A and B are shown apart, each in its own frame.
Chain A
Amino acid sequence: MMGGIVNTATLTPLTNANRIAIVENNAIKTTLTKARVIRKKPLKLFNLSHKLHKWLMLFIGAQFVIWSVTGAYMVFFDIDYIHGDSLIINHQNKIKSENLAYSSPTLFQQFPRAKNLSVGMLVNREVYRFNIAKQAVIIDAQSGEQLSPLDKNTAITIAKHLYSGDGKVLNAELITSNPHFGLSARHLPVWQVDFDNFASPSLYISVSSGKVVSKRHQLWYLFDWMFRLHIMDYGDDEDVSNWLLFFIASLGFFAVFSGLVLTYFKVIKPKIISRRKSRDSAKKSRRDNSLSFGDKP
């Protein structure tokens, strides 16, 4: 009997303990699974984004550096400056009609096939400009003397008159064929007049019209290279619609998108949580404050 009692007595706590242990285990399990269900999705998104961003950027991150450097160059320098607009003085010299001793009817008699007649200034004298077939011609409006094709000295005089800088003329060269890529073939023939200044500016004076048809300095050529790198065009045609750019930019889209997901998890979310915490504690302390205030009547 005694033994039986003892036995049951010793058994009951055991079974109770077992039961408790089982209950506890269940509770732990349920809380664990619940937590996993809640956290599963964001963690997966975070991990996927992390891997995507890390690995994609290993292969195409260099292009992002190129995009940001070339893009920054292009927006930091004023585009009008890059175009060389500041190399030119925009003279507003007026035509004096009394200087047109050689009249336009005489001109049309002498050149019956003249087209697109214009009257303007060449440095400080009035001139007629017109086309015969595709050939441009300049005539002194006072004497009727033909000035085109312009000689080297005239081209230098014109360039000096228009140039806004203080540099000396280094060189003047006649270009009649095979222009370099910064000069359009339709402007030929031209005098290239180089000036001794920062970024080696050049003015291009048309041999047949005496007008500036182009102006270049080194920062323009650099800009051109920046643009090519920006659009990933390693051919000659400055073509934005190339496959390399499509491929890299498409991958880049996913790399950036995954980066934004990381920004959310690593920067935005922690901020929200810490702000919520500080707000809660602020509330609590405010409550405490009001209590202590209430204590002091």
Chain B
Amino acid sequence: MMLWIKKIHKWASLLIGLQILIWLTSGLIFNVIDHKKARGNAYQQTAMAEQPTLVNKTLLPVRSVLKLYPATLELNQVNILSQPYYLLTQQQGLYHHFVNSYHIVNAITGELTLVDEPFAKAIAKATYNGPGDIRSVALITPPIADFLKHKNPSWQINFADDLDTSVYVEQGSGRLVGHSNSDKRFADFFFMLHFMDYGSAGSFNTIQMILFAFISLWLALSGLIWTLHMLRKGQYRLKKF
């Protein structure tokens, strides 16, 4: 019986020993890093000034808008860069970051609005209070390396600053997905290692993770039995140490 325990412990350690060291190291890094910095919001500000309610009188009646877009699940009055819009949800995910699809309609003129590059740049700039200027812009389809959980196409607006800040604006809704920067990417790298998310699934429920977790159960439990066995046999003696 003990022979088998020892065999299991040795072979399990051979299979996943290095990953255990990676888990320990990345875990220690999560313990010591500044979590505020790791959020990537160093240069983020809340941009949206609240819309004065006086404007409500000038808005198009929602009924006429909905008549034009009959496949709408929900209509939301939103402000983008202090302008009133109706955001029409065409396909609704359980969360914002799940797959959704939208139309944006100008709430005063009724014009269908697309979040194109200049519009996305303006939205990004309004959320940014750092020292940099826009360096480059790209439209990214998921997976988005900085926001793996986000499943909707988004504009990536890169700023030239000391932290390499990137701002993500969802193409369909004009909503801010979030800011990312070198601090967040540093933490994300170790999350990738800790969760063994080598395929950028944005999840820790991957095959390799489940397999390694299963083997680590065997490693830890066989180690526990081995230690108890040594204790019972009196192999823990201080003068020997």
Contacts and interface: CB of A to CB of B under 8 A. Distances in A.
B123 interface: no
A118 B53 contact: no
Interface stretch (A14-22, A28-36, A260-268, A275-283): A260-268
Q: Determine the interface band of chain A, counting residues with CB < 8 A from chain B.
A: 35 or more
A88 B70 CA distance: 25
A51 B73 contact: no
A95 B74 contact: yes
B93 interface: yes
Interface stretch (A38-46, A100-108, A177-185, A195-203): A100-108
Interface string B199-228: 000011100011001101101110110010
B213 A68 contact: yes
Per DSSP, chain A at the interface is helix
Contacts of A266: 10
A246 B50 CA distance: 44
A75 B62 contact: no
Nearest to B13: A263
Contacts, number: 162
Interface stretch (A5-13, A52-60, A166-174): A52-60
A108 B25 CA distance: 58
B11 to A, nearest CB: 7
B17 to A, nearest CB: 5
Contact of A257 (B21, B56, B210): B21
Given A72-B217, A252-B24, A267 B11 contact: yes
Interface in B1-24: 10-11, 13-14, 17-18, 20-21, 23-24
B230 interface: yes
Contact of A120 (B13, B74, B227): B74
A74 B206 CA distance: 11
A88 B21 CA distance: 39
A245 B31 contact: yes
A249 B51 contact: no
Contact of A104 (B11, B13, B61, B73): B61
A116 B14 contact: no
Interface string A48-77: 000100110110011011011101101111
Given A67-B23, A119-B62, 14 more contacts: A68-B213, A75-B205, A75-B209, A76-B213, A90-B94, A94-B72, A104-B59, A113-B53, A114-B53, A117-B77, A240-B31, A246-B32, A256-B17, A262-B13
20 contacts: A55-B241, A62-B224, A65-B220, A68-B213, A68-B216, A68-B217, A68-B219, A76-B210, A94-B72, A95-B66, A95-B75, A97-B67, A104-B62, A118-B76, A118-B77, A240-B31, A241-B31, A245-B27, A259-B17, A263-B17
